[in-house]
Structure 1
Amino acid sequence: MDIRIRLGQNVRALREARGWSQEDYADRAGIHRTYVSDIERGRRNPTITVVEKLAAPLGMSAGALLDGD
Structure 2
Amino acid sequence: MYCLQCLLPVLLLPKPTETNNFFIHRLFIVLYLISFFLERKPCTICSLVFVTAVFLLCQSGLGHCIFWRNCSEATC
| Bigger radius of gyration | 2
Which structure carries more relative contact order (alpha carbon 8 Å, separation 6+)? Answer: 1
TM-score above 0.5, yes or no: no
TM-score category, normalised to shorter length: 0.3 to 0.5
TM-score (normalised: structure 1): 0.33
More helix by share: 1
